[in-house]
């Protein structure tokens, strides 16, 4: 088990996303077919209703942007899947290996995701989240996302029930303003 990832816990989210500097030995990658077993394994441990390996395979094949994060031992510990739709980036999936959660990796991965969108010149990000997922919502709000709507019965839930999705969005300027601050926006 590694030590906690040394990210600043005070939630400094820049007004214009910037790629975080990874500590020595940590590595970002583009999700490939070689990652699917590890990704699907984490997914199955992290969710009550996980994506399947086939879902990830189709996603990668259809051109979605899959990102992976590996620790210095080379272990895949987090991933995200992004889908560009014209001038909006949809965050379809962001997940941290359950044994490595609450160590700052979700914050790091979200910063990477926002910076990746910015690098693709897409300055609006949308995502859906279960209202019951209060930890993820806290993270998104700290990163400047705001609720813009709700999709009724969007997610499967336990039994044959359904759960709504909250739709969250964050937009940011295409370029840094001269007087840009670095404080969190939420």
Ligand X SMILES: CC(C)(COP(=O)(O)OP(=O)(O)OC[C@H]1O[C@@H](n2cnc3c(N)ncnc32)[C@H](O)[C@@H]1OP(=O)(O)O)[C@@H](O)C(=O)NCCC(=O)NCCS
- Residues forming the annotated binding site? 133
User: Under the criterion CB under 6 A, does residue 76 sit at the interface with ligand X?
Assistant: no
Residue 124, Cβ density class (10 Å: 0-12 exposed, 13-18 middle, ≥19 buried): middle
Q: Is 177 helix (H, G, I), strand (E, B) or coil?
A: coil
Segment lying near ligand X (by CB under 6 A), choices 21-29, 31-39, 92-100, 115-123: 92-100
Cα–Cα distance for residue pair 41/43, rounded to 1 Å:
5
Segment lying near ligand X (by CB under 6 A), choices 67-75, 130-138, 145-153, 156-164: 130-138
**CA of 23: how far to CAs of 9, 131, 157, in Å?**
15, 33, 38
Which of the residues 10 through 69 are near ligand X (CB under 6 A)? Answer: 46-47
Q: Give the number of other Cβ atoms within 10 Å of residue 43's Cβ.
A: 20
Q: Which is nearer to ligand X, 45 or 173 (CB)?
A: 45
Among 30, 49, 102, 162, binds ligand X (CB under 6 A): 102
Segment lying near ligand X (by CB under 6 A), choices 24-32, 66-74, 105-113, 154-162: 105-113
User: Under the criterion CB under 6 A, does residue 84 sit at the interface with ligand X?
Assistant: no
User: Under the criterion CB under 6 A, does residue 94 sit at the interface with ligand X?
Assistant: yes
Q: Give the number of other Cβ atoms within 10 Å of residue 179's Cβ.
A: 6
Active site residues: 128, 140
Q: Give the number of other Cβ atoms within 10 Å of residue 132's Cβ.
A: 12
At a CB cut-off of 8 Å and minimum separation 6, what does 9 contact? 104
User: Under the criterion CB under 6 A, does residue 107 sit at the interface with ligand X?
Assistant: yes
Binding site for ligand X (CB under 6 A): 9, 46-47, 94-96, 101-107, 129, 133, 135-136, 138-139, 142
């Amino acid at each position: 088990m590694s030590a906690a990832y040394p990210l600043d816990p005070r939630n400094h989210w820049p007004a214009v996303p910037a790629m975080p500097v990874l500590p020595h030995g940590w590595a970002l990658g583009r999700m490939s077919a070689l990652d699917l077993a590890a990704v699907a394994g984490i997914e199955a441990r992290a969710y009550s209703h996980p994506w399947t390996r086939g879902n990830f395979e189709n996603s990668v094949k259809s051109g979605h942007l899959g990102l992976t994060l590996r620790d210095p031992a080379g272990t895949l510990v987090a991933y995200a899947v992004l889908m560009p739709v014209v001038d909006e980036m949809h965050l379809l999936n962001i997940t941290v290996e359950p044994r490595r959660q609450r160590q700052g990796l979700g914050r790091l991965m979200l910063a990477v995701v926002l910076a990746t969108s910015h690098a693709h010149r897409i300055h609006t990000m949308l995502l859906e989240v279960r209202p019951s997922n209060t930890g993820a919502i806290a993270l998104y709000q700290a990163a400047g996302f705001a609720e813009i709507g709700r999709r009724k019965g969007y997610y499967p839930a336990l039994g044959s029930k359904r759960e709504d999705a909250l739709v969250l969005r964050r937009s940011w300027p295409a370029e840094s303003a001269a007087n840009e601050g670095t404080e969190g926006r939420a």
